[in-house]
Amino acid sequence: MTRSRKTPSADSLLAWYDRHRRRLPWRALPGATTDPYRVWLSEIMLQQTTVAAVGPYFEAFLRRWPGVADLAAAGLDEVLHAWQGLGYYARARNLHRCAREVAAAGGRFPDSEAELLKLPGIGPYTAAAIAAIAFGRRAVVVDGNVERVMARVFAVGEPLPGAKRRLRALADTLTPEARAGDYAQAVMDLGATICTPRSPNCLVCPWGDACAGREIAESLPRRAPKPERPLRRAMAFWITRPDGSVLLRRRPESGLLGGMIEAPSTEWREGPLPTLAAARELAPLPARDWRELPGVVEHGFTHFRLELAVLAGRVERDAGAANGAIWCHPDRLGEQALPTVMKKLARHALKYG
């Protein structure tokens, strides 16, 4: 059984927020001027990443690149390296591109959703968040926290992702003209601290008396079953010189892990691994003493799982590194923009190689 008492009030939520707002490194203090650069940087970092994980990265970025012009002047490799651990490296590439576009336009971010949407890496949610939080524009800001709050307050039983449009429309009905940025952050804080995925604390919720789904809150929002992720496999090549240096290459700028550094491999595809003979024919260099290392490296991406078998081989000292490949000693792997899957591969190869 669900119930509906009174309409949720933006004023009551803002009053709660004024007393209980979280202190976050990118959030301006009450009465202070909001820095659009900080808002933009934090919103890009927070996409599919937790607040706790983002905090140290955000502060490190600010120390290194305190303004958008500083970030624009950085090299892409520097940015990708600093991004390691936040995942989804396309965000880092777009962050760098966006900084350069904003710097080239005078260093000021546009203040409307329409203009913000024209910048690299800024989608509808991020444009709304920046417009509201950085510039005080009325914008409907809907992230996962907001979806959960709306699904519970209005007792929406339709499962996600199908319910997204309805939940956004409901969020629109509550978004005020005044203090739009504070309101957006208030709903997100409510979802993060009180209306949590498990064990929501309804007794202290400022919207508790207006929540139509209070009795079934923990079951909302409902979600459609996720399809099983397919499994892809590949053979990775761990090729070393006598000095211990390993052959690496840069991935294409576009696509998954674009611009990152990796050990060469066969194509990541579904189905069985290539035979050792076939894999050796696909190796980037004609190495010798080939041997397959024990076990596999496993990694999960959003849309598929990956298993990498590792084929280790050796070349002579004077072997070249064609097609933009590089040699890197294991002691200096930390200087390379290696994605997590390649860090796993390096640990595996150094353990068994």
Instruction: Report the catalytic residues.
Output: 43
DSSP state of 223: B
Angle at which helix 89-104 crosses helix 36-46, to 10 degrees, equals 160
Residue with tokens 């990265």: 57
DSSP result, 128-185: HHHHHHHH--------HHHHHHHHHHTT--SPBTTTHHHHHHHHHHH--STTHHHHHH
Q: Strand pairing of 231-240 and 261-262?
A: unpaired
Q: Please report which residue ranges of the chain form alpha helices under DSSP H.
A: 10-20, 36-46, 51-64, 68-73, 76-83, 89-104, 113-116, 124-135, 144-153, 164-174, 180-193, 276-282, 340-352
User: Which pair of tokens denotes residue 255?
Assistant: 């696509």
First to last CA, the chain: 61
Q: Are 281 and 250 in contact (CB under 8 A)?
A: no
165: Cβ contacts below 8 Å, ≥ 6 apart: none
